[in-house]
Amino acid sequence: MTVAAAAPAGRADSPVRSIAIAGGLYFIIGFFTWLNGPLITFVRLAFDLNEVNSFLVLMVFYVSYFVLALPASWILRRTGLKRGLSLSLAVMAVGAAMFGEFATRRWYPGALTGLFVIGGGLALLQTAINPYVSILGPIDGAARRIALMGICNKAAGILAPLVIGALVMHGIGDLSASLEHATGAEREALLNGFAAKIHLPYLAMAVVLLAAAAGILRSPLPDLRASDANAAALAGETEGRSVFSFPHLWLGVICLFVYVGVEVMAGDAIGAYGRAFGLPLDQTKFFTAFTLAAMLAGYLAGLVFTPRIVSQAAYLRASAVMGLVLVGGAFLTKGYVSVGFVAALGFANAMMWPAIFPLAIRGLGKATETGSALLVMGIVGGAIIPQAFAVLKQHLDFQAVFAGLMAPCYLYILYYAWRGYRAPAAVPRRA
C-alpha cells in the first residue's frame, strides 16, 4: 500500500530546491565517507602501521555512528531540521581540522579522534537527511528519490579518492620503495613530508563545511517533521506504539548493519584485497573509485526500474542474488579479474540502502525519528565486518575470508527483501 506523505508547509513551494539542497548534502556525505579507502593506505604509510591498525580508520569512523546516532535524534528534536543540518556540518568542519592537524603531526590517536568527530557530524547529518528524503513523497517510491541522492553521493565518492590520490598520494609507490632503504632521520623526514601533504586539503574541507553550514541556515529548505509525514503503512495507528512494536524496523537495522559491512568491504577494503594479490600501490589507491563507478551505474539502473517496473523490495532481492554471484566470482578467480568482481559488487550494492531504509521506516509515524537513528546505528557494520576481514586475513586465505564474510550478509539481505520487511507490527492494547 502506498503511503502518501503529508504536505507540510513549504514543501510544495520548492520541491526542486529541496531536492537540490539534499543532493548537495549527500555529496558531502559521499565525499567524506569514501575518503576512508585511500586514508587506510595513507595512515598505513604515514604512521608506519600494520594492516590491522590501519583499518582502525574504518572502525573509529563507523563506530561513531553507533555511539552518536541516538543522541543525534534527540538533538534534532530540539534544533529542527535546518539548524540540525547546519550543526552537523560545523561538527564535521571541526573534525576535518583536527584530522589534518594531528595527521600532519603524525599522532595517530589524535587523527583517529578527528575521524570520530567527522563521523559524529555525519551521524547527525544522516539521521536528519535520510528520513527527510524518504518522506518527500510516497514512501513506496522513496527508493527512486534516494537513488537520485545516491548518484550525488557516489559521484562524490568517485571524486574523493582521485582528489586525495592527486594531492596527497601522488608517487606513493616510489615513496614506499624509498622507505625500504631509508633509516633513522632520513626515514622520519620522508614520513613527515608525506604526512604534511594532508594538512592543506583537510583545512580547505573544513572551510568549505563551515561555509555550507552558514548556507543551510539561510536556505529555503523546509523544516519537515518525519513523524508528521510518515503515516502508518497499514490500517493501524502509530499512536501509543514504541519502536519495539515494529519488528520490520529491527530486522531492518540488522539488514543495514550487514549491508554497510558489504558496501565498505567492496569500496574501502578493495585496496587491501588487491594488495593481497601483490598489485602495486600506485594502482590499488584508485580501486575504491572503480567500485563507486559501478555503484553510480547501479543507481542509474535503479532510477529506470524502480518503482515503475519493479518494486523496491523486488529490486532488493535481485541485488542480493547478484551480490552472491559476484562474491562467488571473486572467490574463484585471481588478480585483476577477482578485483573486478569485487568492484562490480558496487552495482549490486547500489540500490540496497535506497530500498532498505524506506522499507524499514515504513509506517513508524511518531517513532520515525528514533527508528531512523536506530537504522543509522546499523552503519556500525562498516566498522565490524571490515575489521574482521583485516584480522582474519592475517591467519587464513584472504579470498576465503572475504567470501565467508560477504555471502552470509547477502543471504540475510535476501531474507529481509523476501519476508523480513513484511513482519507485522504489534497492535497496542486498548482499554
- pLDDT: which is higher, 179 or 230: 179
Dihedral (Cα; 264, 267, 272, 277), 10-degree rounding = 130
Rg (CA), the chain: 21
Note whether 344 and 295 are within 8 A (CB): no
pLDDT in tens, 212-251: 999 998 888 776 655 554 544 444 445 556 778 899 999 9
By percentage, how much of the chain surpasses pLDDT 70? Answer: 88
Q: Any idea how long the chain is? A: 431
Note whether 353 and 256 are within 8 A (CB): yes
Per-residue pLDDT, averaged over 29-55, amounts to 92
pLDDT in tens, 266-310: 998 999 999 999 998 888 878 988 998 999 899 888 888 877 788
Distance of alpha carbon 106 from alpha carbon 325, whole angstroms = 42
Per-residue pLDDT, averaged over 323-339, amounts to 97
CA distances from 277 to 40, 138, 263 (A): 17, 46, 21
Residue 115 has pLDDT above 50, yes or no: yes
Per-residue pLDDT, averaged over 313-340, amounts to 97
From 183, 352, 180, 186, select the one nearest 264 (Cα to Cα). Answer: 352
Cell of 423: 513482519
Can you give the three-state secondary structure of 147-162, one letter per residue? HHHHHHHHHHHHHHHH
The helix/strand/coil state of 140 is helix
Cell of 95: 573534525
Cell of 150: 545516491
Q: What is the pLDDT of residue 179?
A: 87
Contacts of 218 (CB under 8 A, 6+ apart): none
Q: What is the pLDDT of residue 14?
A: 55
Q: Give me the CATH topology for the region 15-232+242-422.
A: Growth Hormone; Chain: A; (1.20.1250)
From 410, 429, 430, select the one nearest 418 (Cα to Cα). Answer: 410
Which among 62-76, 98-112, 140-154 has the top mean pLDDT? 98-112
Q: What is the pLDDT of residue 234?
A: 42
Distance of alpha carbon 372 from alpha carbon 368, whole angstroms = 6
Q: What is the pLDDT of residue 223?
A: 67
Domain boundaries, the chain: 15-232+242-422
- Which of 2-11, 113-122, 207-216, 297-306 is predicted with the least confidence, judged by mean pLDDT? 2-11
H/E segment holding residue 397: none
